[in-house]
Chains A and B, each alone.
Chain A
Amino acid sequence: MRQDRIDFVHNSERALADPTLHSSVRRAMVRFRELQRPVIGEIEEWQALREYAHRVKLHTLSHLDQYLEQLERQIVAAGGQVHWVRDGAQAGRVIADLARSRDDRTVVKSKSMTSEEIELNQVLEAAGCEVVETDLGEYLLQLAGDRPAHIIAPAVHKSKDAIAKLLAEKLGVPVYDDAERLTRVARDALRRKFLAAGVGITGVNFAVAETGTIVVVENEGNARLTTSLPRVHIALMGIEKVIPRLADLGVFLTLLPRAATGQRMSSYVSLLTGPRRAGERDGPEEFHLVIMDNGRTAIQADPVMRESLACIRCGACLDVCPVFERTVGHAYGSVYSGPIGAVITPLYQGLDVAGELPFASSLCGACGEICPVKIDLPRLLLELRARVVQAGGASWAERLFVRGWVATMARSGRLRLVAPIVRLLHRAVARTGIPLPYPFSRWTQFRELPPPARSSFRERWPFAAVGRRR
């Protein structure tokens, strides 16, 4: 699939032009940060846990074949079936075939970024299934024909008024103005779908190789219903979701909810091992695990970028990102947005498509600091920038500027020659106020130039009395 280049400058300027969007997203992000801070702060060993989780993930990523095969054996032993798929198209075909073979073609789905990544809903609908998203945010987006704007708060860009109008239009209910009433409307509609569905599809937060257990973390109970009411449960996971041992799950379940939603524990944590067994009262009759590559092995093979696969999709790097807050997810041109999106989208879609994303950061470092699995996001952004430039992705003006800069700075003698000339130009500009060419024009669009100095520090050194001249 040929994709257009993601124009982040354009997308971000469009988002910035909508001040209500920014203020509502900012409010939500500030709220997340306020919730995260105390529940992270109360864990004394937070840094040690991050480090531990990071090492578990990197260990697993360098032994993926071993753990995935162990996972398969355990799933099969528990009575489940495993399907290996190379890419999104194959995953779509496998899942559509499983869904289509049922009498009841209503499919309920709990929130899954991996399914968004491969646009699974379109595939299933094309195969004649009715697909219903059951996470409230995702359900609203499905009704609106929209895409998620945030990894864990998909409808964060939708105002309450917009949601009220949407539900009124699509479900034929009055335009309510309180959130509880609106939630109840959606809940009633969704309950009917749950009862009618023959197939439930979920993502996977963690898959424990040792026991063949998949773990689904959520707050609305919809994943619990999706995995227990329909006769068939299909879980879709990327290969990076496997962890070796059940004992390590406790670490991840300490990190994930605190970073994601500022909760000590998510409302529902389902540990599912195979389908319903003889004598059990609930659970699906069939359990299928679809294990998907879709570009991940290429990242796994890249020693510098491999750690990006450690991501547990908590969304915390989005919450603290000043760029995300102002652009909202859609500007990133992919389901994965914010700092992690700026890292993995270029890896999945190519530097020619998404090469601008790694530059869309002031490198403030807030993402790297919050990441609960200690992915060094600012460094990965820098590494990608180097690859973009190496591949010829820098503009000629930029190359000229940086190379001129470095050539000047390579010898202090050159700096002594060039600096006075630049200072003369700077003074002339400051005096006359003539408009400057790009890229300086982009600076003066929002700020004044600093005033020129009378002389450089090196010309003043060594000085006896300091602080007299300015």
Chain B
Amino acid sequence: MRVALFVTCLVDQLFPAVGEATVSVLRRLGVDVQFPEGQTCCGQVAFNDGFWPEAARLAQKFIKDFDDSDAVVAPSGSCVAMVREFYPVLLRDESALADRVRALGRRTYELSEFLVDVLHREDVGAHFPHRVTYHASCHGLRGLHVTTQPLRLLAAVRGLELRPLPGVEECCGFGGMFSVKFAALSGSMLDAKIGAIESTGAEVVTATDSSCLMHIAGGLSRRNSPVRAMHLAEILAAQ
């Protein structure tokens, strides 16, 4: 099977190891991973902040970059939700594009969703002997209905002890520009999330989105917490 990796701008520039881990897991399962090199950003940053014409430019570019791909996989529920859920809203006046937009949304997958729902694999051969807690990122959870897939993948990781996170579905407070525009509110939400993470006794907190993890990791290091934030792909890549 051939898939195009949409690595996302955040992973590309700040967390390349997450991209490498994603490729590593997919290759291990026999997937032929392509990387369309023209790709950049899905435009969510602009879209969520109300800059729709600007976001539409990036959406059009994304559609062009991935038009030829049979399937697109991204290590981010949030960016996939942007493509699947919000491109049709953003490009609703481009009636000529409507079918292409919807078709692309249908074949663009968040990583855990792709592994479990498309490849039907839960055991990806990972070994990670640590106590781990899982945070359900909002856009994956409520936008894509990614609910049990990450948990099933984690359950099959050898040596891993999963610690349930209280308030697992509560937002970490990131929300893109929300985290700077309403920094105190966002910080209060982050406090609650970190309190919950620390209460589990886990060594590692994981999620399907690097954006949430960047926020959580920033809060953890501010508090000198020993807990590490790792993307789900990094755990699944570990052997």
Contacts and interface: CB of A to CB of B under 8 A. Distances in A.
A467 B24 contact: yes
Interface string A446-470: 1111101101111011110011011
B218 A359 contact: no
B124 interface: no
A462 to B, nearest CB: 7
B180 A455 contact: no
Chain B interface, >50% SS class: helix
A406 B43 contact: yes
Interface string A334-347: 00000000000000
A410 interface: yes
Chain A interface, >50% SS class: helix
Interface stretch (A8-16, A54-62, A226-234, A282-290): A8-16
Contacts of A16: 184-185, 188
B182 A8 contact: yes
A406 B46 contact: yes
A406 B58 contact: yes
A198 to B, nearest CB: 47
Contact of A323 (B19, B58, B185, B187): B185
B24 A455 contact: no
Contacts of B190: 446-447
Contact of B20 (A13, A410, A422, A466): A466
B47 interface: yes
B9 A409 contact: yes
B177 A359 contact: yes
Contacts of A446: 183-184, 186-187, 190, 218-219, 222
A419 B13 CA distance: 7
Interface in A388-416: 388-390, 393-394, 398-399, 402-403, 405-406, 408-412, 415
Interface in B65-88: 86
Nearest to A327: B185
A366 B171 contact: yes
Contacts of B51: 386, 389, 394, 399, 402-403, 406
A322 interface: yes
Contacts of B174: 362
Interface stretch (A96-104, A249-257, A437-445): A437-445
Contacts of B35: 458, 461-462
A384 to B, nearest CB: 8
B5 to A, nearest CB: 9
Nearest to B221: A448
B185 A385 contact: no
A369 B20 contact: no
Given A13-B184, A449-B218, A322 B171 contact: yes
Interface in B173-199: 173-190, 192
Contact of A362 (B39, B52, B173, B214): B173
B230 to A, nearest CB: 12
Contacts of A363: 48, 138-139, 175-176, 178
A410 B142 contact: no
A92 interface: no
Given A12-B182, A365-B143, A450 B214 contact: yes
A447 B215 contact: yes
Given A327-B185, A389-B49, A447 B219 contact: yes
B50 A388 contact: yes
Interface string B203-225: 00000000000110111011000
Nearest to B139: A365
A409 B58 CA distance: 7
B50 A385 contact: yes
B121 interface: no
B61 interface: yes
Contact of A322 (B54, B61, B181, B189): B189
B96 interface: no
29 contacts: A8-B182, A12-B182, A16-B188, A323-B185, A326-B185, A359-B177, A359-B178, A363-B176, A366-B138, A382-B47, A386-B50, A388-B50, A389-B49, A389-B50, A398-B49, A402-B45, A405-B45, A412-B40, A442-B181, A446-B186, A446-B187, A457-B11, A457-B13, A457-B20, A458-B7, A463-B20, A466-B20, A467-B21, A470-B17
**A-B CB proximity, top 6 nearest:** A447-B218, A362-B175, A385-B50, A446-B187, A364-B171, A389-B50
Given A412-B38, A466-B237, 4 more contacts: A365-B139, A366-B171, A385-B48, A467-B17
Interface of B: 7, 9, 11-17, 19-21, 23-24, 27, 35, 37-41, 43, 45-52, 54-55, 57-58, 61, 86, 89, 138-139, 141-143, 169-171, 173-190, 192, 214-215, 217-219, 221-222, 237
